[in-house]
Chain A
Amino acid sequence: MALINVAAREIHCKIVYYGPGMCGKTTNLQYIHSQVPKDVKGDLLSIATETERTLFFDFLPLDLGKVRGFQTRFHLYTVPGQVLYERTRVAVLNGADGVVFVADSNKAKMQENVNSLKELAQNITRQNKRFAEFPIVLQYNKRDLPREVLAPVPTMDHFLGVTRMNWPRIEAVATTGTGVFETLRAISRAVISKL
C-alpha cells in the first residue's frame, strides 16, 4: 500500500516488475534508468549473481518532484525470475502497490509465462489482496523476435487471460526501449487511481 507522510508531504508508491526468467525485467529498469533526467532518478541498485542474473532484486527510486505540494516518489523493483527463487519473489512483492507482468513473446516460453502469472496471482492473494482489483499491466516483451518463434498477440492474450481481466497490455522491445515508458505510464496511472 502506498505511504502518505502528511508532515513531510510525501507520497511513496512501490511498483514491482514480475515475470519468468530472462523475460527482460531488469532490462526495463536499465532502460528507464538510462533515459530519465538526472534529477528524477536515484542509483540503480542490483543484487545479481556473478553471471548478472538477478539474485534478490533490482531497485530504482524515481522522484517525480512536487505534485500539488506533495513530493511523489515511485520505487521500482524487479524480482528474480528463475523458478528456484519463488520465496524471494514473495519477499520483494511485500507491500507492492502495482505490478508490471513482463511476458516473453517467444512461443516456447508460453508455459513459463502462464506459470509465472499463476504464481503472481497466488502471491498477491496470500498478501490478503484481491487479485482482480490489484493494479496490473502486462508487457509483451521481445516483439522483435523472428516470426518463426514469435507468439501472435491474440495467442498471448488468450493464454494470459488478458481480455477476461481487462488489464492494459503493451507490446515492447525492452532492449531498444520500445514500449518501456508506455508500460511505466500505464502502471503509474493504475497505481495513482487506487491511491
Chain B
Amino acid sequence: MDPQLTSIIVPSEEIAHIEECLSRLVDDTGSDYALLLDKSGQVISSKGDGDRQDITALGALIAGVFASTREVAKLLRERDFRASFQQGVRENIFIALIEEQWILCIIFNKGTHIGLVKVLTKKATDELASVLERVRQQHKARDEVLGSSFRTSMEDTIDLLFRD
C-alpha cells in the first residue's frame, strides 16, 4: 500500500513521552496551554489549565493557518516558515512545525516572555521530532492494534449513524 496512505499509529508509551514533554513546556514557560497537532488538524495531545471545550475547532483552525502560511512560503520561494507568532491583547500563540508532520502550539499570556517560549519550544520540538521518528519507524500491523473485526463493526456504525 502507498506509505502515504497508511495511518500514523501513536503507541501508548510514545503518548506518555509527548504528554511529559508538553507538561514540562507548560510548566517551564508558565504558559496556559500546549497542544500537539497532526498536520491534518487532529489533536494528538494537549496539556494546560482547565478543560478547554473548543480544542477540536482550535486544532482545525491552527492547522489551517499553518498550512496556509506554508503556501505563502512557497509563493515567496521560501522553503518553509518553521514557526509563527500571533500576538493578542491578552493571549499570544506560538506555533512551530515538527518535521512537516506535526504542529506544536503554545498559548501564553503577557506574563510569559516570547524569548523563553521560543527557546524552550525549540528544545521541545527536537524531542518531539525524535518521538515522531520512532513512531514512523515502527510498523505495527494495523490489525494488531484495531483487531480484524474493527472494519466490519465500523461499517455497521457508519450505516447506523449516517442513515437518511
A residues touching B (Cβ–Cβ < 8 Å)? 1-8, 11-12, 14, 36-37, 40, 42-43, 45, 47, 56-57, 59, 61-62, 64-65, 67-68, 70, 72-73, 75, 77, 87-88, 90-92, 94-97, 127-130, 133-134, 177, 181-182, 184-185, 188-189, 192-195
Contact = CB atoms under 8 A, between A and B. Distances in A.
B63 interface: yes
A188 B10 contact: no
A177 B149 contact: no
B68 A91 contact: yes
Contacts of B7: 1-4, 11, 195
A14 B41 contact: yes
Q: Chain B, interface size: which category? A: 35 or more
Nearest to A45: B57
Interface stretch (B78-86, B111-119, B121-129, B151-159): B151-159
A155 B15 CA distance: 50
Given A36-B162, A45-B61, 18 more contacts: A3-B10, A4-B9, A5-B15, A37-B161, A43-B57, A45-B57, A56-B68, A64-B161, A67-B157, A72-B154, A75-B40, A75-B56, A127-B4, A133-B5, A177-B164, A182-B164, A189-B158, A192-B154
A39 to B, nearest CB: 10
A128 B6 CA distance: 12
A88 B68 CA distance: 6
A41 to B, nearest CB: 10
A47 B12 CA distance: 35
Interface in B49-72: 56-57, 60-61, 63-64, 67-68, 70-71
B44 interface: yes
30 contacts: A1-B5, A3-B10, A3-B38, A4-B9, A4-B10, A4-B146, A5-B44, A5-B45, A6-B15, A11-B7, A14-B41, A40-B161, A42-B56, A43-B57, A61-B57, A62-B161, A68-B149, A75-B42, A75-B60, A77-B60, A87-B75, A95-B39, A95-B63, A129-B2, A130-B4, A130-B5, A177-B164, A185-B159, A188-B158, A195-B151
Residue among A5, A62, A127, A184 with the highest chain B CB neighbour number at 10 A: A5
B12 A7 contact: yes
Nearest to A195: B7
Given A43-B57, A129-B4, A87 B15 contact: no
Interface SS, A side: mixed
Contact of A185 (B8, B145, B147, B162): B162
Contacts of A47: 64
Contacts of A192: 151, 154-155, 158
A61 to B, nearest CB: 5
A11 B151 CA distance: 12
A146 to B, nearest CB: 25
A77 B60 CA distance: 9
A8 B39 contact: no
A45 B9 contact: no
